[in-house]
Chains A and B, each alone.
Chain A
C-alpha cells in the first residue's frame, strides 16, 4: 500500500474507532433509565466547579444536560463512523470531551472521583481523545472515505 493510502486508512480507522466509542457511550446512557449526569456534576472538581456543580439542583437544567449529552454522543458517534458531516462532529466531539476533561481534570490537588480507572497526571484519556478529534478536524477523511464524499460531489 502506498504511504498516502496508509495515511488515509489509519485516519479513517481512528475516526471510526472514536465514533464507535462515543456511539456506545451515548446509547447506554439513553437505554439506562436511571442514568443522569447529576452525580458527575455534583462531584465536579477543578476550575469550573462553581458553574457545573449548581446544575443538578435545577431540574430543567439537569434534564437538558442529560438529553444534550446522550444525543450528542449518539449523533457524533454515528457521524464519525459514517463520515457524514465529519468535520462538524469532530470539533463538537472535541468540545464535549473538553467539557468532560475540565469538569474533572487530573490536576495536582484536584480530588478524583472514587473508583475511576487508571492513573493520570494532567493528561488523561479524555484529553487524548479530544486531541485525536482535533486532528480529524484538520485532516478530514469524510470526503475521501465517507458520506461527505457525496456532499462534496453534489456541491461541485
Chain B
C-alpha cells in the first residue's frame, strides 16, 4: 500500500478494504451459529438417528412385476353395485362417461393417467349378472367399452345371466368375480369352487363363522384360487410396516388401535337410490336368497349394509379392512377373546346395526390387544397405531415411527419425541430420517391407490393382477382362504359379542366359537 493518499498501487484505500469486508463478520457469525445448530439439532438426527435406524431401501410390491402372459382368463362378474365400476377399471375396462367426469379444464387427471398406465391383464369378461337389470346392462356396456387400459382391444358384449347359477353352469368362464351383498358371498363362492371356477371375492369373505368353515373346506378340496378383496395387501406402507415391526424398532407391542371415522349420511349407508329402480327391474327374490321373506323394499336392496341379515355391520364392513392390514403386518390370526359394545344412537331408521361400536380383541399368546373404535358421527382422522415399548407407529398410506420418551433404546438419541424419528413416504419412494424443524412429514390417507417407486397405482388392479398370476401359475395369493377365514371369524366374534352382549371366546383346538 502506498503512503500517498492512503491508497495502494491498485488504487485500493484502507477505507475500501473496510467497506469491502464489512459484511465478513456476518459470515463468521453465521458459521459459528451454524456449527452450534449442527451439533445440537441436525447432527443427532442425521448421525445418531440414522445409525440406529435400518435402511430398508425401496419397497417392492411383488405383484407389480407379474406378467399376464399365457392363456386369456375368462371372467364372469356377479354384482355391479357401488364397487362394480372400480373393479371393472382395475381389470382394464372404463367408460367414456368416466373419462369425461375425470376431465379438468380439458385435461385428463391423475386417475385417468393411472388407468391407462395399467398393463393389459389378458382377461375377457364373458358374462355379467346382477339382480337389478339396469346395472346388469351397465356392466355389459362397460365390459364391451372401447376404453381399455394397456392397449387391450374392445371385446364383444358379454352374456347377461339372470342369476349366477346359470353363469356358473355355462362353460364359457374360468373364474368369477363376486361383488354382491355379504349374505351371498359364501354361497356363491362355494358353488363356484364346486364348478372349478377361480374366485375373487369382495370382503368380508363370509357372513358367519359356519360359512367360513364350509368355504375353507370346499376351497381346500377344489384347488381353485380364491383371493379375498382386501386390496390393501398391495399397499407399500404395510409392507414397510412389517419391516419396521420385524426389525424391532417398536419393541414389544402391547396394543394396536384401529378406527372407522365417518360423518355423513352416505358413510352411514344411506345411499342415493337410482331413479329407475323398481320391483319391475329388480329380482327381489333372488336378492333375498335364503333370507326370510320381506316385502319389496328399495332401502333394503340398495342399503343392505344397514341390516345384519344381508350385511355384517361396521365390524364386517369396515373393521375387516383394518384387521387385514394389521394381520398382514403381525400375522395375528384369530383372537382368544372379544368384547364389543356400542349402539345405534344417531341413525334412527329401520336399521339394526350400530353406528357407534367399540371392540377389543385379546391375544394373550402375543401379549397384546387389538382395539376397534367406530363412529359414524365424527370424521376426525385417526390412523392405525401400533403401540410398542420402544416406539409407536402410525400407518396409513404413509408411515411414521415415534420414539417412546421412556425408551432406553432411544434415550439421548432423539431430540424431539413429538416429531417422528422415521417417516416412510411411498410417494417419494424412499426413506427419510426426520432432520430439521422444517422437515414436513407426509401423512395422507389413500385407500384405493398404492405407490411403487414413486408411481401411483390402483391397489385393486394389483390385487386382481396377483390373483390372475396365481391362477396362471398355480400359486396361493396373499389374501387366500386362510386369511379370509381369520378375517371372518374375528369380525364375526365381535358381532356376536355385540349382539349377545357377552365376551366371546375362540376354541383354537376345536376351531369353534364358544
Minimum C-beta distance from B438 to chain A (A) = 7
Whether B318 sits at the interface, judged by CB under 8 Å, is no
Q: Contacts A39-B425, A114-B443 known; A153 to B12 CB distance under 8 Å?
A: yes
Having A12-B23, A31-B42, A81-B27, one finds 14 other A-B pairs with CB under 8 Å, namely A12-B22, A20-B26, A31-B38, A32-B435, A38-B429, A38-B430, A39-B442, A113-B440, A114-B440, A114-B443, A114-B444, A147-B20, A153-B10, A153-B11
Whether A82 sits at the interface, judged by CB under 8 Å, is yes
Residues of A within 8 A of B (CB): 12, 16, 20, 23-24, 27-28, 31-36, 38-39, 42-43, 56-57, 78, 81-83, 113-116, 144-147, 149-150, 153-154, 156
CB-nearest residue of chain A relative to B423?
A34
Whether B436 sits at the interface, judged by CB under 8 Å, is yes
Q: Contacts A34-B430, A82-B27 known; A153 to B436 CB distance under 8 Å?
A: no
Minimum C-beta distance from B156 to chain A (A) = 37
Asked whether, in the complex, the Cβ of A28 is within 8 Å of the Cβ of B435, the reply is yes
Asked whether, in the complex, the Cβ of A16 is within 8 Å of the Cβ of B26, the reply is yes
Asked whether, in the complex, the Cβ of B438 is within 8 Å of the Cβ of A28, the reply is yes
Contacts of B20 in A (CB 8 A): 83, 145-147, 149-150
In the bound complex, how far is the Cα of B433 from the Cα of A149, in angstroms? 43
Q: Contacts A81-B27, A83-B23 known; A154 to B10 CB distance under 8 Å?
A: yes
Minimum C-beta distance from A79 to chain B (A) = 11
Asked whether, in the complex, the Cβ of A115 is within 8 Å of the Cβ of B440, the reply is yes
Q: Contacts A150-B16, A154-B10 known; A23 to B30 CB distance under 8 Å?
A: yes
CB-nearest residue of chain A relative to B22?
A145
Minimum C-beta distance from A63 to chain B (A) = 13
Q: Contacts A42-B427, A81-B26 known; A144 to B19 CB distance under 8 Å?
A: yes
Residues of B within 8 A of A (CB): 10-12, 16, 19-24, 26-27, 30, 34, 38, 42, 46, 50, 425, 427-433, 435-436, 438, 440-444, 454-455
Q: Contacts A16-B26, A82-B24 known; A32 to B19 CB distance under 8 Å?
A: no
CB-nearest residue of chain B relative to A83?
B23
Give the total number of A-B pairs whose CB atoms are below 8 A apart: 88
9 interchain residue pairs of minimum CB distance: A149-B20, A32-B435, A115-B440, A39-B428, A34-B432, A145-B22, A153-B12, A81-B27, A153-B11
In the bound complex, how far is the Cα of B431 from the Cα of A13, in angstroms? 39
Contact of A78 among B27, B430, B438 (CB under 8 A): B27
Contact of A32 among B24, B425, B436, B454 (CB under 8 A): B436
Contact of B427 among A35, A39, A154 (CB under 8 A): A39
Asked whether, in the complex, the Cβ of B22 is within 8 Å of the Cβ of A146, the reply is yes
In the bound complex, how far is the Cα of B438 from the Cα of A23, in angstroms? 15
In the bound complex, how far is the Cα of B45 from the Cα of A34, in angstroms? 11
In the bound complex, how far is the Cα of B30 from the Cα of A82, in angstroms? 12
Q: Contacts A28-B42, A28-B436, A31-B42 known; A20 to B442 CB distance under 8 Å?
A: no
In the bound complex, how far is the Cα of B34 from the Cα of A31, in angstroms? 12
Contacts of B455 in A (CB 8 A): 57
Q: Is the interface of A mostly helix, strand, loop or mixed?
A: helix
Asked whether, in the complex, the Cβ of B432 is within 8 Å of the Cβ of A150, the reply is no
Contacts of A150 in B (CB 8 A): 12, 16, 20
Contacts of A28 in B (CB 8 A): 42, 435-436, 438
In the bound complex, how far is the Cα of B440 from the Cα of A145, in angstroms? 37
Minimum C-beta distance from B11 to chain A (A) = 5
In the bound complex, how far is the Cα of B430 from the Cα of A91, in angstroms? 34
Q: Contacts A16-B23, A24-B34, A28-B436 known; A56 to B443 CB distance under 8 Å?
A: no
Minimum C-beta distance from A46 to chain B (A) = 12
Of A31, A35, A113, A144, most B-chain CB atoms within 10 Å: A31
Asked whether, in the complex, the Cβ of B431 is within 8 Å of the Cβ of A34, the reply is yes
Contacts of B442 in A (CB 8 A): 39, 114
Contact of B16 among A57, A113, A115, A149 (CB under 8 A): A149
Minimum C-beta distance from B429 to chain A (A) = 7
Contacts of B19 in A (CB 8 A): 144-146, 149
Contacts of B21 in A (CB 8 A): 147
Contacts of A38 in B (CB 8 A): 428-430, 454
In the bound complex, how far is the Cα of B371 from the Cα of A10, in angstroms? 61
In the bound complex, how far is the Cα of B28 from the Cα of A23, in angstroms? 13
Residue pairs across A and B with Cβ atoms less than 8 A apart, 15 shown, are A12-B22, A32-B46, A38-B429, A39-B427, A81-B26, A82-B23, A82-B27, A144-B19, A145-B22, A146-B20, A149-B16, A149-B19, A150-B20, A153-B12, A153-B16
Contacts of A78 in B (CB 8 A): 27
Contacts of B10 in A (CB 8 A): 153-154
Contact of B34 among A27, A42, A113, A156 (CB under 8 A): A27
Contacts of B427 in A (CB 8 A): 39, 42-43
Q: Contacts A32-B46, A150-B12, A150-B16 known; A81 to B440 CB distance under 8 Å?
A: no
In the bound complex, how far is the Cα of B37 from the Cα of A28, in angstroms? 10
Q: Contacts A28-B435, A33-B46, A34-B431 known; A20 to B24 CB distance under 8 Å?
A: no
In the bound complex, how far is the Cα of B431 from the Cα of A35, in angstroms? 10
Of B23, B42, B436, most A-chain CB atoms within 10 Å: B23
Minimum C-beta distance from A143 to chain B (A) = 9
Minimum C-beta distance from B29 to chain A (A) = 9
Minimum C-beta distance from A18 to chain B (A) = 12
In the bound complex, how far is the Cα of B429 from the Cα of A56, in angstroms? 10
Minimum C-beta distance from B26 to chain A (A) = 5
Contacts of A57 in B (CB 8 A): 454-455
Asked whether, in the complex, the Cβ of A81 is within 8 Å of the Cβ of B443, the reply is no
Minimum C-beta distance from A51 to chain B (A) = 14
Asked whether, in the complex, the Cβ of A31 is within 8 Å of the Cβ of B46, the reply is yes
In the bound complex, how far is the Cα of B3 from the Cα of A101, in angstroms? 52
Contact of A146 among B11, B23, B432 (CB under 8 A): B23
Contact of B430 among A12, A24, A36 (CB under 8 A): A36
In the bound complex, how far is the Cα of B453 from the Cα of A42, in angstroms? 12
In the bound complex, how far is the Cα of B430 from the Cα of A33, in angstroms? 12
